[in-house]
Amino acid sequence: MQSSMRMRAALGGAVLSLLAVFAGPGTAQSAEPADSTVGDVTGFTADGPVYRLTAGAAEARVSFVTDETFRIELAPDGKYTDPTGQDIVLPQGAPPTTRWTDRGDRYELSTDRVTLRAYKSPLRFAAYRADGTALWSETKGLTWNQDRTVQTLARGATEQFYGAGMQNGRGNTSHRGKTVEVGVDYNWNDGGHPNSVPFYLSSAGYGVFRNTYAPNTYAFGEPVTTSARERRFDAYYFAGEGADAVKDVIGQYTNLTGKPFMPPVYGLEIGDADCYLHNANRGERRTLDALKVADGYVQNDMPNGWMLVNDGYGCGYENLGEAATGLQQRGMQLGLWTEDGLDKLADQVKAGQRVAKLDVAWVGAGYKFALDGCKAAHAGIEANSDARGFTWAPESWSGAQRCGVQWSGDQSGTWEYIRWQIPTYAGASMSGLAYTTGDVDGIFGGSAKTYTRDLQWKTFLPVTMTMDGWAANDKQPFRYGEPYTTINRSYLKLHESLLPYIYSHAHEATKTGVGLARPLVLEYPDDPKAATDTAKYEFLSGEDFLVAPVYKDDVRRDGIYLPKGTWIDYWSGRVHEGPQTLDGYSAPLDTLPLFVRAGATVPMWPGGIRSYTDRTPGSQLAWDVYPQGNSSFTLYEDDGVTRAHKAGRYATQRADVTAPARGAGDVTVRIGASQGAYTGKAASRPYAFTVHTGDAPTKVALEGTALPRHTSRAAFEAATQGWWYDAADRGGVVRVKTAALRTDRPFELTLTDTAAVGGAVPGAAATVSAPAGQELGAGVPGTVSVDVTAGDRDATGVEVGLTAPEGWKVTPAPRIDRLPAGTTRRVQVTVTPPPGARPGESTLTASAGYRAASLDRVAIQRFAVGVMPEPPTADAWASDLVWLRSTNGWGPPERDRSNGESAAGDGRTLTLAGKTYDKGIGAHADSDIEVYLGGRCTRLTADVGIDDEINGYGEVAFSVEADGKVLWTSPKVTGASATVPVDVDLTGARHVHLRITDTNGSKSGDHGDWAAARFACG
C-alpha cells in the first residue's frame, strides 16, 4: 500500500534472509545440539607470552598482548581458525614479559598487571589484577556444540554491564539482568541493534571482545552467559585500572581494534541528504538543484557542512564537478550515497566528493562486507584527495569506529523516536563508537515540533544529518516557518559555536577511544543511580554538559537527574547541587533542558557564524568559564580538513582556572602558549571570556594591567578590550575581551574580589518560576502568574517583568518592597496577545530584578503559556476546529480523509464497514488530537473503527479525555470489528483529547477513524 509499509515488508524479508545466512548448520534439526564442556587439563606448554592447555582433544591457547590485555582461544578439535584474520584486530607492539607458576590446582599466567588463573580439573579460567583483586571467574568451563560456544561467568552482587555496540533504546544504563543480541537484524527502531559490536564491559573493571563475525548473545543474568554462534571460542580480555577503569577498558579495546577516526570539521556540522535525479517522491529534478537547497541554508543563515545529492534508490547524479564546486562556494562539501558499491569512488572523489554514505543494499549478508566497505570508502577518499575519509554506515561491526560514523538507519519522526534514541548513542560510546546518530526527526513522518525537539538535543552529539525526500515535506530546518525556523537556527548556531569544544573531544577520542556523547555512569561510576533508569533519558556531552531532552509533547520535563556536584542551568544560571532529581523543569519549545558542570571551561567560537569557513586565523576565540576550584581544558586545533594532523601538524592550548571552591574570592584564568604548528594557525588573536561569577569583581587585570571597565553592553561591544559585569545575564556574568594577543605566549587574566559560580554568598540568589498550564486568549487581556522565591537572604525592591513575543502587550506588575528569605510571592502580570496570535504554545521570559546580600541581582526563567483559539459557539465538526495537538503514529493525521501515512492529504475517503463519511479524522495509532472547547460544548458523537482500506488487520482502542480525565474508552477494535458508536457527555470541558492507542504492540495497519466526529456546542 504505502511506500513505508513496502519498505518495512522488504526489510523484514531481508532480516529473514540474513538470519538464514547466519543460522549455520544444525538449525533445521528438531532437537537442540548436545553441549560439550571442556574437561580436565591433560597437557601444558609455555612459549613466551603464549601458553597452551590441552584437555583431551580440545586445546586452549592463551596469548598476552599487553600487560593488561590477553586472548583466550579454544579449539574443540585442537585446530585453530580465525575468520576475521587481519580485518579487525590491528597489529600490536611487542608482547609483554610474562611468567607462569604451577600452584597445584591451577596454573597462574601473569604479567606485571594481571594474572590469569587456569584451573586444572576441569579447565576453568579466572582473571585477577596484580594486587589480587578479582576481575572475573568462570563458574564452569567453556562449553560448545556444533552451533555455538558459551562462556559462563559469575556475576558480582552489584556488577553492571555495558556495551554491545548500538543497542536502540538501551545502552547508557546497565544491561544487568537483560539479554543483549549482537548481530545484523535490520531493525532500526526501538529494540533493534544496528551497528552491533561483540564487546562488553563490566563495572568490575574488565572488558571482553569476541573476535568473530558470528552473531553473539549476552545474557547478563546469574550466572552471566555469553555465546557466539560458531564452534570456536576466541576472546580478548582487558583489565582496567584506577578510578577510570571503564575508560581504560574502552581505551584498551580501541588500541586493539582501532581508535575512532578524526573527522573533518565540516563533518561535525549538520549534513543534508536527498535524491535530486530521478526522485520517485519529488518528481524529476537535476543534481544541480541541490545548490538551490544549499542556498536555502545560506539565505536562512543556518549552518550546514555537507550534502548527499543522490540519496535514494535508483537515484543517480550528473554534473558532479559543478555540484561539488557550487557546494564549496557555499561553505559545504559534496557527499554521495554508495548504493551500488565503490568502483567509481576514485573518479567521484577527484570530482569533489568528500563524504561517502554506505548502505545495506550492497554490503552483503555479513559484517565483513560492511567493514570492508567502510574501510575502502574511507581509504578511497584519502587516496584520491588530501581530505580525511568521512563515511556513514547503518550496519557495521568492531573496527568500524576507525573509518566512519554509525547511524541508526531509517525511522519515522515521532516523540517515541526521540525517547528511545536518547540512550542509544551515549550507550554506543561504551563500545568505542565515538560518532553515532540518527536522522533529525527520522526520514518518514515527523512534524515541526518533533523536528525542533529532536534537533535541539542532537546538536550536542558530534554528528547528525537531516534527510529529505521520503516524508510529506522536505526536512531542512528552515521548512517549517516560525517559530521553528528561529529556534532551529539558534541551536544549529550553538552547535557551531561549540565546535572548538566538540573538535577537541574528537581529538581526545583518537587517543582514548571515548566519544563526546557519554552515559552518566562513565563519568560518575560510583553513583548507584547513574546505572539505572533514573538516568536513562539524559546524557553527558563531554564532561561538562548534561543534556536531558524533551521526548513528549510537553513544555515541562520531569525526572532530570543531576549527579554529585554543582550544576548550572545553561539558560537561567540557576545553581543546583547534586545529587538530586528535578521535576517540573520549565522547557518551552525553544528550551532544551541543559546544565553545565561547575568547573567547566568551554572553548567556543563567538556566536553568529554560519560555517567554519567564516573563521580566519585572526578570528576571536571565546572561553565560557564556570569557576569552581581548580579546573582546566585543553583546546585542540588543526587545519580542520586535511590529514596533516597525522604528521603532527596541530596545536594545543591549555586553559587553567583557579577559583574558590565556594563563595567569595579571586578568579584567575591562565591561557597557555599554543603548542605546535599547522597551516593557517593564528599567530595572534583576540580573546573573549564569559565568567559566571554571580558577583562583579572590583578589578579585572590582564597580565597585571587593569582592563577598562565598561558600564553598558553597547560600550563594551564597541570597545577593543575591557570588561563589563552583566547582572541580568544568567545570574550575573563578567564579560571580558582582549585585543589580539600572540598565541605563542601565555597570559593570565585575574578577576579580583569576585566569586566562584553561585556568587560570593551562595544561596542568596532568588529564583522565578511560573505555574504550568497557563492560558491566554488571542486579543483578550489575561493574567500570567509568576512566582518569586527569595534565597537564604531577603530580597528587596523586587520588580517582576515579562518579555513576550513581538506585538504582545505586558503591563508591569507592582513592586514588592521586601520578600523574606525562603518565602515565595505570586505576582500577577497582565498580558494581552495580539488578535492574530498563533494558537498553541508561546514562550515568555520572566525576570525579577531585586537586591540581596548587598548586591543588585536579576533572576530569569523561560516558560510557556498556551494561546487558545476562540472556542466554538455552535455545533462543530472535529475536523474543522483548530488542533492544539496532533501527534500521530505514522504520517500526519488527516482532516476528512483516512490516514495516508506520509503526506498531508494523501489519504482516501473515510470508510468504516462499507459506509463512507464526508467528515472526520483519519489517524494512525498512537495518536492524540487535542481541541479547545472552552466549556461551551456538551457532547461528542462519532463512529469509530479501523478504516476499511486496511483490509481487516490492525488493532487499536479509542478514548476521549477531557481536562485530564478519561471519559470514555472503546473495547479493542480490529480491522474486522463492527463500527463503534461514540456518544460522550462533555459538559463544561475545556480541553478534549481524542486518542487512539495501539493494543497489540504492532503499529502496522492501525488506521483509526473518528468518522463524523461532531461537537454539540452553543
703, pLDDT greater than 90 = yes
What is the per-residue pLDDT for 445?
83
258, pLDDT greater than 60 = yes
Residues 6+ apart with CB under 8 A from 649: 638, 639, 676, 677, 678, 679
Average pLDDT in the chain: 93
How large is the average pLDDT for residues 363-381?
79
Selection from 655, 650, 770, 750 nearest residue 698 by Cα: 750
24, pLDDT greater than 60 = no
What tens digit of pLDDT does each residue of 328-358 get? 999 999 999 987 778 899 999 999 999 999 8
What tens digit of pLDDT does each residue of 105-119 get? 999 999 999 999 999
User: What is the distance between the alpha carbons of residues 343 and 205, in angstroms, rounded to a whole number?
Assistant: 44
11, pLDDT greater than 80 = no
What is the per-residue pLDDT for 30?
47
- Mean pLDDT check: name the lowest of 15-24, 539-548, 678-687: 15-24
How large is the average pLDDT for residues 361-381?
76
Three-state DSSP class for 626? coil
What tens digit of pLDDT does each residue of 281-306 get? 777 889 999 999 999 999 999 999 99
What is the per-residue pLDDT for 369?
78
191, pLDDT greater than 90 = yes
* Banded pLDDT at 844 (limits 50, 70, 90): very high
pTM of the model: 0.92
What tens digit of pLDDT does each residue of 732-753 get? 999 999 999 999 999 999 999 9
Q: At residue 4, what are phi and psi to the nearest 5 degrees?
A: -65, -40
How large is the average pLDDT for residues 959-985?
96
What tens digit of pLDDT does each residue of 992-1005 get? 999 999 998 887 78
User: What is the distance between the alpha carbons of residues 971 and 868, in angstroms, rounded to a whole number?
Assistant: 32
21, pLDDT greater than 60 = no
What is the per-residue pLDDT for 329?
97
* Banded pLDDT at 366 (limits 50, 70, 90): low
Residues 6+ apart with CB under 8 A from 882: 839, 869, 931, 932
What is the per-residue pLDDT for 892?
82
User: What is the distance between the alpha carbons of residues 496 and 459, in angstroms, rounded to a whole number?
Assistant: 9
Residues 6+ apart with CB under 8 A from 145: 26, 32, 33, 34, 35, 36, 231
How large is the average pLDDT for residues 227-246?
96
Please give the radius of gyration of the chain, using alpha carbons only, rounded to the nearest integer: 30
CB 602 within 8 Å of CB 623: yes
User: What is the distance between the alpha carbons of residues 565 and 196, in angstroms, rounded to a whole number?
Assistant: 34
User: What is the distance between the alpha carbons of residues 4 and 135, in angstroms, rounded to a whole number?
Assistant: 48
- Mean pLDDT check: name the lowest of 537-546, 645-654, 771-780: 771-780
663, pLDDT greater than 90 = yes
437, pLDDT greater than 80 = yes
What is the per-residue pLDDT for 51?
98
Torsion angle (degrees, nearest 10) of CA 361, 367, 372, 374: 70
What is the per-residue pLDDT for 1018?
87
98, pLDDT greater than 60 = yes
Q: Give percent of the chain with pLDDT exceeding 70.
A: 95
* Banded pLDDT at 174 (limits 50, 70, 90): very high
What is the per-residue pLDDT for 440?
97
* Banded pLDDT at 836 (limits 50, 70, 90): confident
Beta-bridge partners for 239: 206
What tens digit of pLDDT does each residue of 892-926 get? 899 999 987 655 667 899 999 999 999 999 999 99
Q: Give me 543's grid cell.
A: 564532561
Q: Answer with the residue of higher pLDDT: 894 or 33.
A: 894
- Mean pLDDT check: name the lowest of 62-76, 399-413, 487-501, 620-634: 399-413
